[in-house]
């Protein structure tokens, strides 16, 4: 998979070198390039923003640098993702779907966002998704893009170190995960649930499932409503 990132803060993405995605990059499974949007400006001040039509607070990202940057990286098989607080919600199912794409471009906005014509124009050419990480407001698309790249990158087919548990993880079956424990069996007077030391794999599986259901009912009852 190829990933291109368009941003005015390319240095943000240096952290990807040391994350799980770093391994996928070394193995050649993920080819990641970060592009500075200001390299697609032509004025002395490398301007990327301007005042909003219709008035209001803040600044909006100008369409011209975005048009040129997207022209430079997009081809027919590209999916362009614009992180946005106004997008559809990012989910594990979306991560799975996007992990199968040959080429992703993340358009990371700042200020109050990107001139909407950039998104509409791009949608006329390739697959475009405006995606929200969650119902809270970030200062730009970079942190959202990084979270999505980590969630997608670990699912890319052939990714080494994928545990067998990938299919039974949180949210795949609509339930939260069961709690995990390791040695020592007693720590600061807290015992590991005895069933996990019993060696009875049937009982262990049943207990873990009960824990999943109980935890989901307690902290995420919304996940049970669609079941």
Residues near ligand JCH, by CB under 6 A = 83-85, 109-113, 132-134, 136-141, 144
Residue 202 is given by DSSP the state H
Q: Which one, of 30, 96, 46, 41, lies nearest residue 66 by Cα?
A: 41
Non-local (6+) Cβ contacts of 74 within 8 A are: 80, 105, 122, 125, 126
Nearer CB in complex with ligand JCH: 115/175: 115
Nearer CB in complex with ligand JCH: 21/61: 61
Nearer CB in complex with ligand JCH: 89/209: 89
Q: How far is the CB of 65 from ligand JCH (least distance, A)?
A: 15
Nearer CB in complex with ligand JCH: 134/158: 134
Q: How far is the CB of 59 from ligand JCH (least distance, A)?
A: 10
Phi-psi region of 13 (alpha: psi -120 to 50; beta: other; left: phi over 0): alpha
Residue 114 is given by DSSP the state B
Q: How far is the CB of 43 from ligand JCH (least distance, A)?
A: 22
Q: How far is the CB of 144 from ligand JCH (least distance, A)?
A: 4
Rounded distance, CA 132 to CA 90, Å? 6
């Amino acid at each position: 998979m190829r990933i291109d990132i368009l941003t005015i803060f390319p240095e943000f993405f240096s952290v990807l070198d040391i994350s799980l995605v770093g391994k996928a990059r070394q193995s050649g499974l993920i080819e990641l390039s970060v592009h500075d949007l200001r390299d697609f400006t032509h004025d002395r001040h490398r301007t990327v923003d301007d005042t909003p039509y219709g008035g209001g607070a803040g600044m909006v990202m100008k369409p011209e640098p975005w048009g040129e940057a997207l022209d430079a990286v997009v081809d027919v098989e590209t999916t362009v993702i614009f992180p946005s607080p106004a997008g559809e919600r990012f989910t594990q199912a979306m991560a799975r779907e996007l992990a199968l794409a040959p080429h992703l471009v993340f358009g990371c906005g700042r200020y109050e966002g990107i001139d909407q014509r950039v998104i509409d124009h791009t949608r006329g050419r390739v697959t475009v998704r405006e995606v929200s990480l969650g119902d809270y407001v970030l200062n730009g698309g970079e942190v959202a893009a990084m979270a999505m790249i980590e969630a997608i990158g670990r699912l890319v087919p052939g990714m080494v170190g994928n545990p067998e548990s990938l299919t039974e993880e949180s949210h795949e079956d609509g339930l939260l995960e069961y709690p995990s424990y390791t040695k020592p069996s007693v720590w600061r007077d807290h015992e590991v649930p005895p069933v996990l030391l019993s060696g009875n794999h049937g009982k262990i599986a049943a207990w873990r499932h009960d824990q999943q259901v109980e935890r989901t009912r307690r902290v995420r009852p919304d996940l049970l409503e669609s079941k």
